Copies of this chain bind each other. A is one copy, B any other.
Amino acid sequence: MNNVREKLYPWLAILRAKHMGSERAKKLESHFGSVEKALQASAQDIAAAPGFNADIAAAVKEAAQGKFDRQIENELAWAQKEGVSILLYTDPEFPFSLQHIPAPPALLYVKGKILPGDIIALGIVGPRQASDAGRRQAGNIACQLAEAGVTIISGLAWGIDASAHKGALRSKTGRTLAVMGNGLKIIYPREHTILADQIVKRGAVISELFYDVAPQGRNFPPRNRIISGLSLGVLIVEAGERSGALITAKYALEQGKEVFALPGSVDAETSKGTNKLIHDSSAMLVTSVEDILFELEDKITFYRNELEGKIPKVDITNFPARSKSIDAAPFSLDTDTRSPKSKKKISILVTQATEAAHPAADMLGGDEQIVYNLLSTEPKHIDILCRELNWPVSRVSSVLGLLEFKSFAERESGMRFRLKEE
């Protein structure tokens, strides 16, 4: 417990400071070298850090001076008693896919277990006020996918969420993760306490929020980015015109994940949002589990091979602090923040791929050359490129954009890219 306490304490303290959140805390970590050092820094030095000011610095100093120690002790005691793991975003146990979204949470509270195989996951979301048909569809699809080895991720809410979790639990060995918009001390809605217990046995209940944070509306949209972040893709079963499920779709698109939607009658209020997503090409219309598995086939095969050791597993223990990439706009180019280890990996990949180099490839910049060499005439998903390069999706996406622009690469459906054939 002492090691864990030592590692977590600075984060648990700094994140409780006023005006503070995962992104700001990671900025301080990056600026001062570690959160411990940030806490030890003078208020003046903190205020001078880019994006900070005297108010935030004062709040950090309060945290450094032990303002939250009692809350932290209570939380750590509660976590030990309840068997809740608190994962730091740099921990090897921290879900890989969530590490690679823009603005990953700094901490993740996990009751239950996230297994390596849970990387093969689909988010299933929809409104609380879902139709009976929608609930049934969510449950059936979740059950069939879970039987096919896909972990079902949702938000434990009434309606589609609950049906999706229950569907996964209905399958013999299906796994499911519930991402909460409140601290794990509370199960919300209360009526889903038993469902949450069942989920813990076949997956985990997860939150990025301190254990005693009550359910509040403003915490639910950011929660949705974790649902999509943990998933290879997201299925929107139903959505009214202003459904929160549309926020999940938006996050999923930003994260480069697949977005699927079930179509519905033009008369149905609960399909207005899903139909609009499909109309706007923001989601692919699917009508069956087969449709979904077909679209995810490349990714699933890739991760299955990795899990079975058929391809070398990416080493994430030396995962660098990615504060630059995190703050970058989705399509800006990052400077190189890779660790020496991952750099070496890339150079091997580059060497392997250089044989097929394009005659005009010397027209490309460094990053472009690297990504170019990983492409072939077979479409490859951006997620797989991210995984191969250990780059954040924003960086890979930006480079792919340049390659597309220069007519070296072309985009296929579903964020898959290939070399442009002459």
Chain A residues in the interface with B (C-beta under 8 A): 133, 137, 262-268, 271-272, 275-276, 278-279, 281, 284-288, 291, 407, 413
Across-interface contacts of A272 in B (CB, < 8 A): 287
CB distance from A91 to the nearest CB of B (A): 40
Q: Are B262 and A287 in contact (CB under 8 A)?
A: no
CB distance from A413 to the nearest CB of B (A): 8
CB distance from A166 to the nearest CB of B (A): 19
CA distance A271 to B264 in the complex (A): 9
Q: Are B267 and A133 in contact (CB under 8 A)?
A: yes
11 contacts between A and B (CB under 8 A): A133-B267, A263-B264, A263-B271, A263-B275, A264-B264, A266-B287, A266-B288, A272-B287, A275-B287, A279-B284, A279-B291
Q: Are A279 and B275 in contact (CB under 8 A)?
A: no
Q: Are A265 and B266 in contact (CB under 8 A)?
A: no
CA distance A278 to B262 in the complex (A): 11
8 new A-B contacts, CB < 8 A, other than A263-B263, A278-B278, are: A133-B265, A263-B264, A263-B278, A265-B265, A265-B268, A266-B288, A272-B287, A275-B287
CA distance A279 to B285 in the complex (A): 5
Q: Are B266 and A275 in contact (CB under 8 A)?
A: no
Q: Are B291 and A287 in contact (CB under 8 A)?
A: no
Interface of A: prevailing SS: loop
CA distance A40 to B275 in the complex (A): 60
CA distance A300 to B291 in the complex (A): 36
Q: Are A264 and B262 in contact (CB under 8 A)?
A: no
CA distance A407 to B405 in the complex (A): 11
CA distance A275 to B274 in the complex (A): 13
CA distance A318 to B314 in the complex (A): 69
CA distance A413 to B276 in the complex (A): 16
Q: Are B266 and A276 in contact (CB under 8 A)?
A: no
Q: Are A137 and B267 in contact (CB under 8 A)?
A: yes
Across-interface contacts of A291 in B (CB, < 8 A): 279
CA distance A264 to B263 in the complex (A): 6
Across-interface contacts of A287 in B (CB, < 8 A): 266, 272, 275-276, 279
Q: Are B271 and A279 in contact (CB under 8 A)?
A: no
Across-interface contacts of A288 in B (CB, < 8 A): 266
Q: Which 7 A-B pairs have the closest CB atoms?
A: A263-B263, A266-B287, A279-B285, A278-B285, A275-B287, A263-B275, A262-B266
Across-interface contacts of A278 in B (CB, < 8 A): 263, 278, 285
Q: Are B267 and A285 in contact (CB under 8 A)?
A: no
CA distance A267 to B140 in the complex (A): 12
